[in-house]
Amino acid sequence: MDKLVVRGGNPLTGSLTVSGSKNTALPLMSAALLTDGRVTLSNVPDLKDVQTFARVIEVTGTTIEHTPQQHLISLNAGSLTRIEAPYELVKRMRASFYMLGALLGRMGKARVSLPGGCAWGPRPVDLHIQGMKALGAEIDLHQGYVVASAPAGRLPGGRVTLDPSSVGATINIILAATLARGSSVIENAAIEPDVVHFCEMLQAMGARLNGVGTRTLEIEGVDRLDPVDFENCPDRIEMGTFMIAAAIAGRPGQAVEIHHGRADHLGSAFMEAFQRTGTRVEESDSLIRVIAPEELRPVSVTTDIYPGFPTDLQAQWTVLMARCAGNSKVYETVYPDRFKHIPELQRMGVNAIIVGDEVVIEGGKAIQGTHVMSTDLRASVSLVLAGMVAEGETHVLRVYHLDRGYERLEEKLSGAGIDIERVRYDEWADPS
Ligand code: EPZ
């Protein structure tokens, strides 16, 4: 098993490059199943989740050519025959549940395992199933699988209102609706950039979508979709993570450059809160320069759906607030119990206390390096951020969580001056 060893104290300098978006690459791969030709996706990040999803898709008979280092993946669902997504693969990654909409839309039937996904809280899929039923699917839950079928082999289409607005359910319902016999409407659709970019790919394939980027999405079913080569968008959460890293560990007054990101994908709430800390942001096409202030000001935030403050940056923000001279709160409204990183940060001396759905942070205390445990993707990266400014060494264990969503993080950070390395270790060895 691997861990990351970070020796704190080095400033973050120079530049960081943002990889392709994990949470957009996965829906784009799903869209490839809706046509019977070869689809090539570029700017696909070299991540565990992408590899896992490729294996899920190959179970259907779809052929895949994946060159991770070139950030390319080609999928040809002309050879799609099996309508299965098995538990032993789906349990590793929640987004595998997109197979339900893709197979139901393309083949008129699907047998997909209920998902697993990140550790925190229950991860329901009731909105996904409600949506498929609204489109006219017959759904049976049988031995941990969702068994779905369309009457006469093709969904009629229908109307569904999502409450709460769900990224995954929006994407899954769109996958099922684009090839339906009739029209569909999704009310309170998610409008995250991941969803918008996914819709743009479908439109390039010939899908008829109206209201992309708005809460009311209209989908007019078409008889077929054409293969397309399409470029994935940059990862907004990795970019936000790097911006926070620059505010935390950048030299005051000296710019850290972040390349290939899109600041507009982070939403107004994050950008406003980030600049209220006193950190300066200079944007120009795909370059963002972040200049840390002499003293960071505490800014309380509340997570929300886009364009609200991203829940995927909540853990990273807590570390930023720990560096401020003063108190602040982080209120999590999207997920219950997304605070698995707090006990680990407390072990590092961060004065953060969970009060219901809020974390109250008393900033300004020194952070001490120690051994800490990753628990989920964004929690683990917050431990790396803390280690960058901790006194001494921080060992971030079980870094496979981090490898799901951050490509070559230790290489990128060490290329920007941070003392960090990946070390293999035996979790059960005697620590003496
Ligand atoms: C996507 O998850 C992202 N994952 C998550 O990123 C992200 O945190 C989340 O959207 C919110 O932005 C991917 O895109 C692969 P939701 P998703 O459905 O689609 C509730 C990361 O770190 N809900 O928008 O699963 C749900 O419990 C990951 O990259 C239902 O109640 O999120 C949550 O409270 C973590 N019923 C809220 O909606 C459902 O059927 C939002 O979840 C579905 C969701």
Q: Whose C-alpha lies nearest to ligand 1, atom 4?
A: 23
Domains and CATH numbers, the chain: 2-19+234-424 (3.65.10.10), 22-231 (3.65.10.10)
Question: How much is the average pLDDT of 92-114?
Answer: 96
Report the residue count for the chain: 432
Q: pTM of the entire structure?
A: 0.97
Q: How far is CA 223 from CA 171, 177, 307, in A?
A: 19, 11, 34
Q: Which of 106-115, 200-209, 309-318, 423-432 has the lowest mean pLDDT?
A: 423-432
Residue found by looking up tokens 């020796």 in the block: 7
- Are 114 and 125 within 8 A, CB to CB? yes
What digits encode the pLDDT tens for the residues 294-325? 999 999 999 999 999 999 999 999 999 999 99
Atom of ligand 1 nearest to the CA of 129: 40
Q: Chain-centre distance of CA 44, in angstroms? A: 13
The predicted-structure confidence for 24-83, as pLDDT tens digits, reads as follows 999 999 999 999 999 999 999 999 999 999 999 999 999 999 999 999 999 999 999 999
Nearest atom in ligand 1 to the alpha carbon of residue 49 is 15
Task: Say which DSSP state 251 is in.
Answer: P
Task: Tell me the best of 132, 160, 166 to mutate to test the pocket of ligand 1, counting ligand atoms within 8 Å of each CB and taking the most.
Answer: 166
Q: pLDDT value at position 422?
A: 98
For residue 224, is pLDDT > 70? yes
Q: What is the pLDDT of residues 232-273, one digit of tens each?
A: 999 999 999 999 999 999 999 999 999 999 989 999 999 999
Across the range 131-155, mean pLDDT stands at 95
418 touches ligand 1 (CB under 6 Å) = no
